[in-house]
Chains A and B, each alone.
Chain A
Amino acid sequence: KAGVTQTPRYLIKTRGQQVTLSCSPISGHRSVSWYQQTPGQGLQFLFEYFSETQRNKGNFPGRFSGRQFSNSRSEMNVSTLELGDSALYLCASSLDGKPNEKLFFGSGTQLSVL
């Protein structure tokens, strides 16, 4: 069974631009969540989608948004990029997002904002 796939693996953007990251969950998984990892803040929860609906959201500004499609694939968008948005963005999937379910992570998208 294929794992969680994130594309692209690396991305370089300039301040003010926007970016879209993609995540394909493990087949059959309906919950997709996104995390940001930086050296200073560590791993932080962005949001979680389930059945095409954002179910929960972390403490990030509105520039960070996402969506989920009917096939459970998810995209994350960051608008008006800032230097501080440089980070590793990780996507994770699980069956239904319940507390006793494992989360499987992708390899991430390394975003650099210049």
Chain B
Amino acid sequence: DAKTTQPTSMDCAEGRAANLPCNHSTISGNEYVYWYRQIHSQGPQYIIHGLKNNETNEMASLIITEDRKSSTLILPHATLRDTAVYYCIVRGGGSNYKLTFGKGTLLTVNP
């Protein structure tokens, strides 16, 4: 799986949009970009995933650059409950059965 690079931590004001970047410059054409988040001592929660096109669901939006080497997760109106570690994961190819987690970004939403 391609390696991902994320900032270690970010802050966001409550009610504002949170934009979490991720670099995946070695991504292959058939690999998906996934985002999960984890609140302390709970299981990771699926947020969104995409291949080439931008995606939006009830939780977030995923913007993937045209060359697919980076992406941004957008939480449109962050709340205190969005404080968590966010993982950007590239999945597919020969190891499609697993997720390879990096260290993620600790997003802290401040009141």
Contacts and interface: CB of A to CB of B under 8 A. Distances in A.
A97 B32 CA distance: 13
Given A43-B101, A103-B46, A104-B46, A98 B41 contact: no
B43 interface: yes
Contacts, number: 61
Majority-rule SS of B interface residues: loop
Contacts of A21: none
Contact of B93 (A42, A88, A99): A99
A58 B41 CA distance: 22
B91 interface: yes
Contacts of B44: 43, 90, 92, 105
Given A104-B46, A105-B45, A31 B32 contact: no
B92 interface: yes
Interface of B: 30-32, 41-46, 49, 51, 87, 91-93, 95-103
